[in-house]
Structure 1
């Protein structure tokens, strides 16, 4: 498994775990009450910041555990990364459109923020899965 593929695994797992932790935190705070009344901002920021920090630490740990691993990125790695980015971008666009429509309709900020965060997470997950599948198989021929 290449260094770049390991990075894709790390980011995929961290994205899923961070979002799951955020959802659990918000649902616990709701305690059966209405979700828009839950103070979600701190949990969201900690979740995103924590995911970034854990990804960085995990990638550093991966480099320490296997210091001789090649970090050379070849054409195939760049193409796989590009395909993963393009695949995941769909959810970024969906999230932006959803947030815009929800805002225009006067929805509560809670729902808008959570749809955007969900779409960012789905983008990371779909992009990561795409990268991993292509590493395990091959690049599609166009």
Structure 2
């Protein structure tokens, strides 16, 4: 498995684990509560920071485990990355319509922020899924 594929797997795992944990914590407060009273900004920023930090730390640990492959990329890796990022961009562009529509409808900031957060998560996961599929099924 190439170092780029390992980083993609790290991105996918972190991209699922952190948002699921965050959403389980914050959305569990929604039933029976006025969403304007839920303190979500700090936890959301924390989850974003934890996601970025975990991705970096896990990528460094993986690189240290096999240093000879750490920064070796070839044309195939670059093309797979390009295709995955391309798909992620389109997913983000399409899904970002939801928070935009929510803002235009003057919905609570809570829902707008979470729709945008979900758009970023879906874009990252779509990008990782395309890359993993390309690595697993072949280029």
Q: Which moved more, 1:130-139 or 1:27-36?
A: 27-36
Is this contact kept in 2: 1:36–1:111, CA < 8 A? no
Q: Which moved more, 1:113-122 or 1:84-93?
A: 84-93
- Give the Cα–Cα distance (whole angstroms) in 1 for the partners of residues 43 and 22 of structure 2: 6
- Give the Cα–Cα distance (whole angstroms) in 1 for the partners of residues 20 and 37 of structure 2: 20
- Give the Cα–Cα distance (whole angstroms) in 1 for the partners of residues 75 and 18 of structure 2: 31
Q: Are positions 1:89 and 2:89 aligned together?
A: yes
Cα displacement (A) at 1:51: 0.3
Name the counterpart of 2:64.
64
For residue 81 of structure 1, give the secondary structure of its aligned residue in structure 2.
helix
- Paired residues for 1:50-61 under 5 Å: 50-61=50-61
Structure 1 unaligned spans of 5+: none
Calculate the aligned-residue CA RMSD, in Å: 1.5
Q: Which moved more, 1:83-92 or 1:25-34?
A: 25-34
Normalized against structure 1, the TM-score is what? 0.90
Cα displacement (A) at 1:94: 2.5
Which string of whole-angstrom CA distances, capped at 9 and with x for unpartnered residues, describes residues 50-69 of structure 1? 00000000011001111222
Name the counterpart of 1:46.
46
Count of aligned pairs between the two proteins: 139
- Paired residues for 1:1-142 under 5 Å: 1-30=1-30, 32-69=32-69, 71-139=71-139
Q: Which moved more, 1:60-69 or 1:4-13?
A: 60-69
